[in-house]
Every structure is written in C-alpha cells, then in structure tokens.
Chain A
Amino acid sequence: MKRLLRLYLKTLWARAYVRIFGQMREATWVVASIVGGFFTMMTYVYLYRTLNAGAEFGGIIVLGGLMLPFFLNVLWGVATQLYWEKEMGNLEIMLVSPASLSAFLVGLSIGGAIHTLLRSTAVLFFGLVVFRVHFVVAHIPQAFLVFIVTLVAMYGLGIVFSSLFLYHGRDAWRTADLVMEPINVFAGTYFPARFLGVGLLAVAALIPATLGLDALRQLLIPTFVDGILDWRWELLILVGLGALLAFVAQWALRSLEYKARRDARLTLRWQ
C-alpha cells in the first residue's frame, strides 16, 4: 500500500513538474497566453463601454478573464491530453509503466492549475491596472475558497472528458473545438450568467465555472446585482459537483481504458 501510494505521488509530481516548469521554458508561450487573455478582456470591456453598460461590467469581464485561461487549460491541457499522448506515441509507454493513469491526470491537472494561475494572475493584474476595476477586498478569503473549489470541480470535469477523448480519435478533438466557445459563453465568461435565462441556466449550472464565476462576482464586485443564487449555496453546489465529478472521473477512466484496450484503440493514431 505504501509502495503504491509512493508510486502514485511520484507519478503525480513527475507530470505536474512538466506542466509547471516545462511550460515556462518558452517565453513566447507565456507572453502570448497573457497577451491573448488581455486582448479578449479588452474587447469586451470596450464593447460594454460602447454600449454604456454599468461600471460593474468592467469587473465582470476582468473576473471572466481570470477564469478563462483555466477553462482553456482544462479543455486543451487536460481533456484532450490523452488523445495527444496517443497521437505522439507516448500513451503506450505510459500504459506499460506501473504508473496509474489517474495519477498522471491528477498531476497534469495540478501542474496545469499552478502554471495557469501565474498567467491568470498576470491577466488579472493588467485588467486591474489598465481598466481601473475595483473589487471588495473584505471578502477575499471567501472568494479564494470559492476559487479553489471551482478549480477542483473544473479539473474534475476535465478528467471525465479526458477518458472520453482517450477512446475517441479526431472526432474528440473536433468536439472539443466545437464546444469550447459555447461552454465559455454558458459559463458567463463575458456577461453575468443570469443573462442566459432560466432554461439555459439550468444546463449552464452543470459547468462548474458558471456558479464559480457568479459567486466570485457576488463576493468581489460591490454593485453586482445579477447573481443566480446566494454565493453560499453556489459554494455548496460546487463542493457537491466536485465530489461527484471526482467519482465519475475515476469510474469513466477505468471503463474507457478497458474499452479502449478491448477495441485496440490505445495505439491507434491519426484516426
């Protein structure tokens, strides 16, 4: 048991290490992701200014800009990762090693979250300085708690999707490309999720970022009045969602790995 735990943690750290430090080796990647995030934020800040929307929309967009890199990391850095490993020929090497796939994915998520945090913080900093957005600092500890729980749930969702993408080939990549923007919109990255209306909101609430962002906006933006539920309820739902997704992720990974082995899809490339 002790040996297994040690192996799990070593695998976890090995994959997290690559994500934390490997991604920092190319300066262009870091700069481009920060600049890209900033431009997206700038687009919507200016759009709302042109529309004469309230001052709180600056804060809404800046917080959306904070969460956006995490969402992109979950989708392209976790969910599609096993597909890319398969395409590069690494997956077969990983599978013949004694390391577990779940340790690999959890490491990937932790490493991804840490390196994305640095980029997100930079985007947040530029947003605060350039657009002069003011937040309520009294609720920072609660906001931090919401933020961490949201990340856990989001990365749990990423691991669930990675199992699906392990089995599927190029169609999985296409699906990720197809759902990227709608999920972004449903999560309320660019506007309060309440704008979606009750019907769409019921679906959108299944995306952890939707409730997480809404709770963060309630806690940090003094004039934000478009909240969905009280932030405490949203936090509770996120905790439940996180636990559920962790369970589903474990189950999905086992089932899909078995199915992929049975159907000989683990080493099938370019399909």
Chain B
Amino acid sequence: MRGFLAAMYVGFQIESNWTNKLRWALYLLAYPLGSFLTIMILYGVFGKTSELLPFAFYGNIFYWILTMVFFDMAFSVHDDREHYQTLKYVFLSQTSYRVYLCGRAATRYLMALAAVSVNLCWILPVFKLPLHPHWGLLLAGIVFGYTLAAGLGMCMASLFLVAIKLDVDVVDALFGGMFVLSGALFPPTAFPRVVAVIAEFIPISGWIEYMRRAISGRILSEYLSNLNVSQLFGRAALGAVAVFIAGSLLVAWGSRQAQRKGYIDITTAY
C-alpha cells in the first residue's frame, strides 16, 4: 500500500509540478474540452435532428477518461526509462512495478474524473443531456473503470517494456481502433455484421454503455438495448477483471523480458 501511495504521489508530481497549482488546476479543467469540442459543435449543427448525440457525448466523455489512464501508463515506461532515466530505480525499489503502474493509473484516473465532473456541471445544462444518475451503479462503474483502465494501461506498458523503439503512434493507432469499435461515438451496429459482433464483446463497449445507463438513467440507442442494467453490470465487471488480470500477467512477463534483455536502463534517444 505504501508503494501504491508513493506511486500516486510520483504521478501527481509529474502531472502537476511543471507550473503553479492554480495554473495546473485550470489546465486540468481545460484539457478535456478539446476532446469534447467536436461533439459540441456537431451537437450544435445536427442536434435538433438526431437523438444520437447524448449517446455520443457520454460515450466520448467516458472513453476519454480511459484514454487518459492508458496513454499515460504506456508513455510512462518510455518517459521513466529514456527521459527521466528513473525506471531502473523503480525496479530496484521494494515496490513491484505492477503496483507502481497501478498507483500512477490511480492518480491519472482521479484527475480525469475530477476534470470531467467539474466540466459536466456546465455541459449538462447547456447541452440538455439526460441526467438521472443511479449513484450506486455509477460508483460501481467508477471502480470498474479504474480496473479496466489500469488493466489496459498495464497491457500497453508491457508492450513498451519489451519494445524499446515503439513510437506513441502505436498507442494512438490502438486507441483509434478501440475508439471506433467501442461504440463511444456511434453505435457499432453501423458496421458490417462481423465487425459489429466483435465490437459488442470488447470490454470497453460494455463499460461505456453501462456508464451511459448509470448516469442518464435511459437507453440512449438501440445498441446493447437488449441487455438490462444487471446484465451490463455483469459484463462491465467481468470485462474489467479479465483485462486487469491479463494486464498484470503481461506486465510480469514484460518486466522479466526487459530485465533479461537489458531494457530497463537502456537509452536509445528515440
């Protein structure tokens, strides 16, 4: 637990100590807006003719929270190894690398949640998004979200541990693919049948739809409308746990491989 808290603290310092706290708070609040701008503008243009935009808006917000965590975790390997050259010290310490990554993920997740929560205070009334939250379901969803994001982040981190020349473009491409398939912006029913079926069983899809229902209290599209909240709960929980276990195993394997290959303290200047 001490290692986890220390990792959270390190994460917080890396994220925030580049400026004073007031400016950092403003940065934190402004940061997600860029990602929601497109939807806001499209909402203004097509909003009157489509019921789809609350679906897209919520989906975009929840996907953004996940990306903040897994992008940061993937990049933290490269950053700690090449930029700050501190990865070797993390491996030398008593804390396992998995715990360190989970601590970093927790900080990022809390920051993303805080930024989204504050912004939702004005987004919800301005865009008249449906809001009938079920607080218990929402709280459970937040826990699943962390588990899912940390799991995905560990999968990405393991990839960066064993590959020293990977560019962030690789992470961008993976996120782009998941964004398309997850049904964050539009129901994957728009895809050809085979792709739509694959999309339905991606763990992120279930979690995002669960969170939409938990916050809006409504079914916002036909996508996964055949599942009730309990079934979505089960799917989101199962998906999150499965991804977390997979991520943990991959990080353990990646750490061993990186140590064996001498990748823990290597600097390539890429």
List residues of chain A with CB under 8 Å of any chain B CB: 26, 28-29, 31-33, 35-36, 38-40, 42-43, 46-47, 49-53, 87-88, 90, 169-171, 174, 177-182, 184-185, 190-191, 195-196, 270-271
Q: Which of A33, A36, A171, A185 contacts B38 (CB 8 A)?
A: A185
Q: How far is the CA of A179 from the CA of B35 in the complex (A)?
A: 10
Q: Which of A38, A47, A88, A191 contacts B269 (CB 8 A)?
A: A88
Whether the Cβ atoms of A178 and B34 lie closer than 8 Å is yes
Q: How far is the CA of A147 from the CA of B204 in the complex (A)?
A: 38
Whether the Cβ atoms of B18 and A171 lie closer than 8 Å is yes
Whether the Cβ atoms of B38 and A191 lie closer than 8 Å is yes
Could you say which residues of chain B place their CB within 8 Å of the CB of A88?
269
Stretch in B40-48, B102-110, B124-132 with 4+ CB within 8 Å of A: B40-48
Q: How far is the CA of A181 from the CA of B34 in the complex (A)?
A: 5
Smallest beta-carbon distance A93→chain B, Å: 12
Whether the Cβ atoms of A29 and B167 lie closer than 8 Å is yes
Q: How far is the CA of A51 from the CA of B187 in the complex (A)?
A: 11
Given contacts A32-B167, A46-B191, A50-B52, 13 further A-B contacts (CB under 8 A): A26-B167, A32-B173, A35-B173, A47-B185, A51-B52, A90-B269, A171-B18, A171-B19, A181-B37, A184-B34, A185-B37, A185-B41, A191-B45
Whether the Cβ atoms of A46 and B46 lie closer than 8 Å is no
Instruction: List 7 A-B pairs, Cβ < 8 Å.
Output: A28-B170, A49-B190, A51-B186, A171-B18, A174-B27, A181-B35, A190-B38
Smallest beta-carbon distance B160→chain A, Å: 12
> Contacts A174-B18, A185-B38, A191-B42: A26 and B165 contacting too (C-beta < 8 A)?
yes
Whether the Cβ atoms of A182 and B179 lie closer than 8 Å is no
Whether the Cβ atoms of A46 and B180 lie closer than 8 Å is yes
Q: How far is the CA of A52 from the CA of B51 in the complex (A)?
A: 12
Whether the Cβ atoms of A185 and B34 lie closer than 8 Å is yes
Q: Which of B56, B172, B190 contacts A36 (CB 8 A)?
A: B172
Smallest beta-carbon distance A74→chain B, Å: 15
In this complex, what residue of A is CB-closest to B187?
A50
Whether B262 sits at the interface, judged by CB under 8 Å, is no
Whether B136 sits at the interface, judged by CB under 8 Å, is no
Could you say which residues of chain A place their CB within 8 Å of the CB of B50?
51-52
Size of the B side of the interface (Cβ < 8 Å), in residues, is 39
Whether B197 sits at the interface, judged by CB under 8 Å, is no
In this complex, what residue of B is CB-closest to A179?
B34
Q: Which of B31, B84, B163, B169 contacts A178 (CB 8 A)?
A: B31
In this complex, what residue of A is CB-closest to B85?
A270
Whether the Cβ atoms of A32 and B172 lie closer than 8 Å is yes
In this complex, what residue of B is CB-closest to A185?
B37
Smallest beta-carbon distance B166→chain A, Å: 6
Whether B25 sits at the interface, judged by CB under 8 Å, is no
In this complex, what residue of B is CB-closest to A39?
B176
Whether B266 sits at the interface, judged by CB under 8 Å, is no
In this complex, what residue of A is CB-closest to B17?
A170
Q: How far is the CA of A208 from the CA of B106 in the complex (A)?
A: 39
Whether the Cβ atoms of A50 and B30 lie closer than 8 Å is no
In this complex, what residue of B is CB-closest to A25?
B165
Q: Which of A35, A38, A50 contacts B186 (CB 8 A)?
A: A50
Q: How far is the CA of A174 from the CA of B44 in the complex (A)?
A: 29
Whether B83 sits at the interface, judged by CB under 8 Å, is yes
Could you say which residues of chain B place their CB within 8 Å of the CB of A171?
18-19
Q: How far is the CA of A195 from the CA of B46 in the complex (A)?
A: 10
Whether the Cβ atoms of B169 and A36 lie closer than 8 Å is yes
> Contacts A47-B56, A53-B46, A196-B41: A39 and B167 contacting too (C-beta < 8 A)?
no
Whether the Cβ atoms of A180 and B34 lie closer than 8 Å is yes
Could you say which residues of chain A place their CB within 8 Å of the CB of B41?
185, 191, 195-196
Q: What 0/1 readout, one digit per residue, does chain B (170-195) give for beta carbons within 8 Å of chain A?
A: 10110011011000011100110000
Q: How far is the CA of A43 from the CA of B187 in the complex (A)?
A: 11
Nearest 6 pairs of A and B residues by beta carbon: A181-B34, A39-B176, A36-B173, A170-B18, A32-B169, A50-B186
Q: Which of B27, B45, B269 contacts A195 (CB 8 A)?
A: B45
Could you say which residues of chain B place their CB within 8 Å of the CB of A38?
176
Smallest beta-carbon distance A248→chain B, Å: 25
Could you say which residues of chain A place their CB within 8 Å of the CB of B19?
171, 174
Q: What 0/1 readout, one digit per residue, does chain B (9-49) give for beta carbons within 8 Å of chain A?
A: 00000000011000000010011011101100110111001
